[in-house]
Amino acid sequence: MTDFDPGTPPAEALENDHLFAAWTATVAGELLLKVRTSGLEGKELKDAGDLASHELLMGLFAQYKPEDAVLSEEEHRGTAGERDRLSTPRVWIIDPVDGTREYSEPPRDDWAVHVALWQEGALVAGAVAQPGLGRTFHTGQPLVVPARTAPRPRIAVSRTRPPAFVQALAEEIGADLVAMGSAGAKVISVARDVTDAYVHAGGQYEWDSAAPVAVARAAGLFTSRVDGTELLYNQKEVRLPDLIVCRPELAEPILAFIREHGVD
Ligand SMILES: Nc1ncnc2c1ncn2[C@@H]1O[C@H](COP(=O)(O)O)[C@@H](OP(=O)(O)O)[C@H]1O
Ligand SMILES: [Mg+2]
């Protein structure tokens, strides 16, 4: 996709990290939609999308944010020297395609581009583009979570790797499971009243949840590890295998179930 021109960021995006995250995630999503119509399928489409989005994003960060480090699913810039992500004040944590499997299954829309900014110990900005919905959700314009419309809580789970304990959790709290691809799409589904909670365990990395969690926190949703501790980013160990994102009133019932029964 050498002919894709992302254009230049709007002037305000160069001054505002929320808007820069939103712009980069949005243009990467536009590129991914183009790649998706190129005739490729299956693994070739996944690989082409991953690579195109990753290269575009790395190029944009090199051009516009040369002082910052980048932690990407595909590559870690700044893993040594003066931009070492563990000693640099600002680190962009990005997932060029989250829900890669669903991306390769058009016309599914449960896939996303994640761009988060970690600064001096905390997530300070984040954007989740859902190109299939034509929308980018970001911390510069926090989502207002609507009142719950479903009579029973809905718990979003991985389509392909749902943790076994979530079925028992759902039975305990009288919830229904909703299978969906992409950590970003699942977190956004909670904020949009498509579901009410997202519970995962068994494996994931910082880039899978950083941007969605930033957007969720800005919307006032509850976020934590499954043991109730805080989700921490830009750690030496980038595995971050479990999380809960939910409406605040569901946090205690979910955590109580896990305290009693564990997640194995
Ligand atoms: N058990 C596991 N181990 C490692 N990564 C996992 C995982 N379960 C989910 N993930 C990652 O979390 C993201 C969301 O998964 P899911 O769609 O199944 O909910 C996917 O990211 P990618 O699509 O970026 O690889 C997937 O690879
Ligand atoms: Mg991912």
Place of tokens 């910082």: 206
33 Cβ contact list (under 8 Å, min separation 6): 131, 132
pTM of this prediction?
A: 0.96
| pLDDT of amino acid 73 | 80
> How many angstroms separate the first and last alpha carbons of the chain?
43
Q: Is the peptide bond before 107 cis (omega within 30 degrees of 0)?
A: yes
- Closest protein CA for atom 22 of ligand 1: 98
Q: Name which of 113, 133, 121 is nearest 211 in CA terms.
A: 113
| pLDDT of amino acid 41 | 96
CA 151 to ligand 2 center in whole angstroms: 31
pLDDT category, 120, cuts 50, 70, 90? very high
pLDDT category, 78, cuts 50, 70, 90? low
At 126-170, the pLDDT tens digits run 999 999 999 999 999 999 999 999 999 999 999 999 999 999 999
CATH architecture type of domain 154-261: 3-Layer(aba) Sandwich (3.40)
Does 198 have pLDDT greater than 80?
yes
CA distance 237 to 91: 15
Q: Which sequence spans correspond to the domains of the chain?
A: 11-138, 154-261
Ligand 1 pocket: which of 97, 208, 209, 226 to mutate (most atoms <8 Å of CB)? 208
| pLDDT of amino acid 74 | 72
95 in a labelled binding site: yes
Ligand 1 pocket: which of 98, 105, 111, 226 to mutate (most atoms <8 Å of CB)? 98
CA 6 to ligand 1 center in whole angstroms: 27
CA distance 111 to 254: 26
> Which has the higher per-residue pLDDT, 24 or 85?
24
Residue 98 φ then ψ, to 5°: -105, 130
- Residue 209 buriedness (CB in 10 A; 0-12 / 13-18 / 19+): buried
Looking from the CA of residue 157, the nearest atom of ligand 1 is 19
Q: Name which of 26, 53, 28, 48 is nearest 37 in CA terms.
A: 48
Looking from the CA of residue 110, the nearest atom of ligand 1 is 17
CATH architecture type of domain 11-138: 2-Layer Sandwich (3.30)
Phi-psi region of 150 (alpha: psi -120 to 50; beta: other; left: phi over 0): beta
- The stretch 77-90 carries a mean pLDDT of 72
pLDDT category, 264, cuts 50, 70, 90? confident
- The residues lining ligand 1, judged by C-beta closer than 6 Å to any ligand atom, are 73, 95, 98-100, 158-161, 181-183, 202-204, 208
pLDDT category, 10, cuts 50, 70, 90? very high
208 in a labelled binding site: yes
